[in-house]
Amino acid sequence: MGSGIWAMHYIGMLAYRLPIPVYYHVPTVTLSLLAAVLASFIALYVVSRERMTPLHAAGGSLLMGTGIATMHYTGMAAMRLAAMHHYDRGLWILSIVLAIVISLVGLLLISYSRDENRGWTLKLAIAVVMGLAIPVMHYTGMAAVRFMATSEAPDLSRSVNISALATSAILVASFVILGFVVITSLIDRRLSAQQSILDDERKRLRALIDNIPDFMYVKDRQSRFVVANEHTAQVMGANCVVALIGKTDFDFFPREIAAGFYADEQEVMRSGQPSYNREEKSIDGAGNETLILTTKVPVRDSKGHVTGVAGMSRDISERKKSEVALRTAHQEAEVFINAVPSILIGLDHDSRITRWNSTAANAFGLTGPEVAGKKLTECGIRWVRPGMQHEVRSWFSGRSRRCDQVPFELSGETRLLGLTITPVDVADENLTELLVIGSDTTERNALEEQLQQAQKLESVGQLAAGIAHEINTPTQYIGDNVRFLKDGFQDLKSLLSNYERLLAAANGDSLSRETVQEIAAAVNRADAAYLLEEIPKAIDQTLEGVTRVSKLVGAMKEFSHPGTKEKTPLDLNHAIECTITVARNEWKYVADMETEFDPSVPLISCQPGEFNQVILNLIVNAAHAIGDVVGKGGPTKGKIKVQTRDCPEWAEIRIQDSGSGIPEKVRARIFDPFFTTKEIGKGTGQGLAIARSVVVDKHDGTIHFETEEGKGTTFIIRLPKDSKAPAAKTVSA
């Protein structure tokens, strides 16, 4: 750039014609060239900054303009001729101002066009503007000089006369230089772009290395640090990465640790084989012992010769502590699990065994390794209750639940389990596992049945007392009425005797007052209508007592010796409708019987007689509950509603009444045998106990109730569906 400006100046000088010979002083000409080069250097320095501020542009243009003016007037001073010259002050100042302004414009244009994305057309236009602007300053300076011829000969030492051939040589040299500059600038720009890319990649790589929380380094053949990241310097106690360069591990670690690192690195470089994931002892900057996991690989030059070693290490001290703590906790948990006196089994979604403690091994005769990964059926364990496999799958969702007396078959023997099932999330595998905790209750249930039989025998005395009470009331009533009849007939006999006596003694006389009163009392006592009314009452009460006694005896037999009748498919809707018809004689206080039958309820496999008895007991209880409300001054009539519903896994029956509800203090005992809330003599306490036995024990269903004192009770029965059973026919309510 300096050569171009200088060549433009001297070509312009050679174009200047004077009537006298002109010589040029070579040292001064050289000095003017240096001034042009300095001005160009200032310009390139300013525009090559990453960001050029207005202050940079102003200062650079001032220096560059001054340099160009210096180059111009130094070149004028190099002229040797027989004449004197002086300058017009105004034009001289204008030429300097133009040099500064042209420099400012040039800096701005160069800065704007230096982006690689700018087009060549724009760059060429800027070059033309600058090429035309600089001669303006030059010829303004030339116009400012005035020459006057003198007779004094000039000093021509170290001066040359520029001929036409010299002018041509200057032109050729200038264009050759400019062409060379163009070519080198293009090459430089390409190399600069590549270097910029490499610098960016180096910066990104360096930023990545320095922010990795691991040790990363490269060492030479003598195990001296050549490259290292910030984490390595920080842990080793160095102020910065530069403080590590050229040093070895012996400068930072105890000798025995550094010697171990040195030996490993030398072996990698000697053998040319990498070392992967080697655990090594080390210390941190605070002097604490640590454990690091290190990988070291040989570094080779372009010829394949090993020139050093590259390493990457990670502090695994905390991980090792966690692994030890986890292993210890796992061992303690296994000891605890095996010490638990309950069966503990883990199951996955495919019912495969994932956990098996020693109690389970003793109960089933199988050890953990024998059953691991197998299904229960593959271990000879089979659920006896139908639909149990589907129920197991439903356990994976929801909360913990308790299952009493779950039957299973092991080696051909049926046993009972009491289970608590808890779904557990396995975080590492994003799965859910079932934790089944239970105990074999077969022997315990047998003992409980024996105890219940003993309690039933103990209740025989109470039952006998109830029977005696049921019979005593009507019997006593009959006896009273019989005595009344006897007294009445005796009074009739006396009346007849008195009547004869009065007739004999009358003789036409009026009867005395006392005699008349005696006759009236006798007649009242022997009132035939009264006698005819009381006798049927006594007979009815006697029959009712006998009926209740029959029910008590039947209930006791059913409870003590449950039937083993075969189950048949039953249409629930039709059976309930028939049972409602039978129970209508108990509806003394029932105003409305509402039914709502679901026609999609399928046939249910059950014993019809037992099932009808359950429905009858519940409907009669509902009618009696409404009667209790009426007896306490409530509404004269109540309402009973019977519903059936087809649910996904069971058929549901709801029997709802508007009675008095069940008191909270007795709700827990409502299904106990011989427990009743009725007055003595009005209930046996067997209806709900029999209902629970039939629904739960014989049909694998459930029965429970929802109640609110003063508003009524709803009994809910759920019976499991047979997947192969056909749908029931529609029953009209």
Domain 565-720 part of CATH 3.30.565.10: yes
Going by pLDDT thresholds of 50, 70 and 90, the confidence category of residue 714 is: very high
Digit-coded pLDDT (tens) for 162-189? 765 566 766 777 777 777 777 887 787 7
Q: Is 372 helix (H, G, I), strand (E, B) or coil?
A: coil
pLDDT given at position 298: 94
Question: Is residue 9 predicted with pLDDT exceeding 90?
Answer: no
Going by pLDDT thresholds of 50, 70 and 90, the confidence category of residue 585 is: low
The rounded percent of the chain whose pLDDT value lies above 70 is: 70
| Intra-chain end-to-end CA distance of the chain, in Å | 111
pLDDT given at position 559: 41
Minimum mean pLDDT among 65-74, 535-544, 670-679: which range?
535-544
Going by pLDDT thresholds of 50, 70 and 90, the confidence category of residue 528 is: very low
* Cβ-proximal residues to 616 (8 Å cutoff; 6+ apart), any chain: 579, 582, 583
Kindly report the number of other CB atoms within 10 A of residue 41's CB atom: 15
Mean pLDDT, residues 716-722: 87
Going by pLDDT thresholds of 50, 70 and 90, the confidence category of residue 385 is: low
Digit-coded pLDDT (tens) for 308-328? 999 998 888 888 888 888 888
The CATH number corresponding to 212-321 among 3.40.920.10, 3.40.50.300, 3.30.450.20, 2.60.410.10 equals 3.30.450.20
Q: Name the burial class of residue 9, with classes exposed (0-12), middle (13-18) and buried (19+) by CB atoms within 10 angstroms of its CB.
A: buried
Minimum mean pLDDT among 330-339, 489-498, 627-636: which range?
489-498
Going by pLDDT thresholds of 50, 70 and 90, the confidence category of residue 420 is: confident
pLDDT given at position 178: 74
Mean pLDDT, residues 325-337: 78
Mean pLDDT, residues 110-131: 73
Mean pLDDT, residues 622-648: 79
Between residues 409 and 30, the one the model is more confident about:
30
pLDDT given at position 427: 55
CB contact at 8 A, 714 and 728: no
Between residues 4 and 250, the one the model is more confident about:
250
Question: Is residue 145 predicted with pLDDT exceeding 60?
Answer: yes
Distance (Å, rounded) from C-alpha 166 to C-alpha 240? 61
Mean pLDDT score of the chain, rounded to an integer? 75
Q: For residue 306, what are the CA distances in angstroms to 269, 272, 298, 311?
A: 6, 7, 6, 14
Distance (Å, rounded) from C-alpha 219 to C-alpha 228? 9
Question: Is residue 510 predicted with pLDDT exceeding 60?
Answer: no
| CB burial readout 506-526, b (16+ within 10 A) else e | eeeeeeeeeeeeeeeebeebb
DSSP strands (E only) in 301-397: 306-315, 343-347, 353-356, 381-383
Going by pLDDT thresholds of 50, 70 and 90, the confidence category of residue 498 is: low
Domain 340-440 part of CATH 1.20.1050.10: no
Question: Is residue 530 predicted with pLDDT exceeding 50?
Answer: no
Q: Is 717 helix (H, G, I), strand (E, B) or coil?
A: strand
pLDDT given at position 517: 53
Question: Is residue 563 predicted with pLDDT exceeding 50?
Answer: no
Mean pLDDT, residues 425-444: 67
Which residue type, as a one-letter code, is found at position 399?
Answer: R
Task: Take residue 501 and report the two structure tokens written for it.
Answer: 């006596």
Going by pLDDT thresholds of 50, 70 and 90, the confidence category of residue 653 is: very high
Between residues 159 and 583, the one the model is more confident about:
159
Instruction: Give the strand order in the sheet containing 23-25.
Output: 79-80, 23-25, 159-161
Dihedral sign for Cα 677, 681, 685, 687, please.
negative
Question: Is residue 518 predicted with pLDDT exceeding 60?
Answer: no
Digit-coded pLDDT (tens) for 451-473? 666 565 555 554 554 454 445 44
Residue given tokens 């501020």 in the structure block: 53
pLDDT given at position 345: 76
pLDDT given at position 341: 72
Which residue type, as a one-letter code, is found at position 198?
Answer: L
pLDDT given at position 438: 72
Question: Is residue 213 predicted with pLDDT exceeding 90?
Answer: no
Digit-coded pLDDT (tens) for 274-283? 999 888 888 8
The rounded percent of the chain whose pLDDT value lies above 90 is: 8
Q: Name the burial class of residue 660, with classes exposed (0-12), middle (13-18) and buried (19+) by CB atoms within 10 angstroms of its CB.
A: buried
Distance (Å, rounded) from C-alpha 476 to C-alpha 545? 12
pLDDT given at position 623: 81
Question: Is residue 89 predicted with pLDDT exceeding 80?
Answer: yes
Mean pLDDT, residues 290-301: 91
pLDDT given at position 225: 92
Going by pLDDT thresholds of 50, 70 and 90, the confidence category of residue 379 is: confident
Q: For residue 646, what are the CA distances in angstroms to 408, 596, 656, 717, 733?
A: 28, 12, 18, 12, 16
Mean pLDDT, residues 395-410: 66
